[in-house]
Structure 1
Amino acid sequence: MNRISKIAVLASAAILPMTGVGTASAAQAATTETTTASASIPDGFFKPGANTVVKRTASAVPAPTSSAASARAGYSLKNINGPNEVCGTTKLQKTSGAGKTTLVLTVSKSVSAELSSEVAVDAEVVSAKLGFKVTGTTTVEDQTRYEVPKGKFGYIEAYPLYDMYNFNVYYGGHNKGASWAMRPVGVCFNQWTD
């Protein structure tokens, strides 16, 4: 099953119909809880589209560190889903030009990791569980080339690429809600002509 199919299955599972008020089965509740963390992309981010060239510059995530920090704090993360590639909407750089030409855009920018503030959780707990510092910064750098045909005007816009992790935050064994964290891993180049 490809990534798009998996997302579609998870999204459809997240909106299971309930057969009555308070009568959902345990299996339905577990499915809904599991997919709650993976059902949507937060505001300020988008899935790479047909006109987006994704270039990764970061290596794989290091192995998670000891979960002793999370146990001491009383927090735990469950139903972790990811990494899934998303692009940020903060423009890093752009260029444009009339064809016939080759547009070249080189990007080297420092980008901060992102952690949702919707559900309170200690950033160190999330960092320990996911294996990267959720309050750190990373330099993302890469280059793209885009051929613009004669008679057209071309554009390139660069945005940060993230690996997004969705999860449920538990404190003292109780589910506090769905949250997410993002690690900068490269550049999304949106390229088009008009």
Structure 2
Amino acid sequence: MLKATQATLLAGVIAAGTLGTAVPANAGPHVAAKPVTATASRPIHPYKYKHVKYIGKKCGKKLASEARGRGPITLTLTHSASVSNTYSATIGVDIEGISAAVGFDVTKTHTKMMSGAYVVPRGKYGKLKAYPLYSMKSFDTYLKMGGYLGKGKAYKVIGFCYTHSAK
């Protein structure tokens, strides 16, 4: 549960990027307050990430490449494609914090080589499609001052999935 002072402090971080001044809790009256400010080189991130765990692999939905043809033919995909890591979360989050927690840059784009083949039977029209293959991690987001905010997932590109069909 957030106390009123924590909520006000958080609002100051999000809205203005400045906390104002800070004095240690156990400091006497002779200790001067120090200004605390967010800068481009030292942003203030009010979140922390816990319970990071691997949850499996998943084929993406964005088509990376496709080959089509009438059989008899061998469809082959040999292609270089740029695909990006990504993330999803139930709340607004800081990308650097998520990247540090899951162990990879969630915004990085990779160029991957792929090669796959499918033999289309005589008289059929075949398709061979490639999609990004992701390794997934889940995480929980908390305020550094306390309080659960929501869940998220991070997806790292590790290769490609292939699907084929013939009609």
| Same fold per superposition (TM over 0.5) | yes
Which of the residues 100, 103, 108 maps onto 1:136? 108
Equivalent residues of 1:141, 1:187 under 8 A apart: no
Letter in 1 for 2:125: F
The alignment's C-alpha RMSD in Å is 1.6
- 1:184 equivalent among 153, 157, 161: 157
Return the structure number with greater helix share. 1
**Which residue identity lines up with residue 110 of structure 2 in the other structure?**
T
Bigger shift: 93-102 or 77-86?
A: 77-86
CA distance in 1, matches of 2:147, 2:154: 20
Cα drift, residue 74 of structure 1: 4.2
Shift of 1:137: 0.9
Please state whether the residue corresponding to 1:141 is helix, strand or coil: strand
Moved over 6 A (4+): none
Work out the CA distance in 2 between the residues paired with 1:187 and 1:141.
9
CA distance in 1, matches of 2:114, 2:84: 17
> Is the counterpart of residue 81 in structure 1 residue 53 in structure 2?
yes
Residues 134 and 181 of structure 1 are in contact (CA less than 8 Å); yes or no, is this contact kept in structure 2? yes
> Out of 157, 161, 169, which is 2:133 matched to?
161
Q: Which runs of 5+ in 1 are unaligned?
A: 1-71
- Candidates 136, 148, 161, aligned match of 1:175: 148
Cα distance in 1 between the residues matched to 2:61 and 2:103: 25
**What amino acid does structure 2 have at the position aligned with 1:176?**
L
The residue correspondences of 1:6-85 to structure 2 (distance < 5 A) are 73-85=45-57
Cross-structure match for 2:117: 145
* Cα deviation code 1:4-26 (max 9, x no counterpart): xxxxxxxxxxxxxxxxxxxxxxx
Larger strand proportion of the pair = 2
What percentage of residue pairs aligned between the two structures are identical? 37
Amino acid at match of 1:193: A
TM-score of the superposition, structure 1-length normalised?
0.59
Unaligned runs of 5+ in 2: 1-43
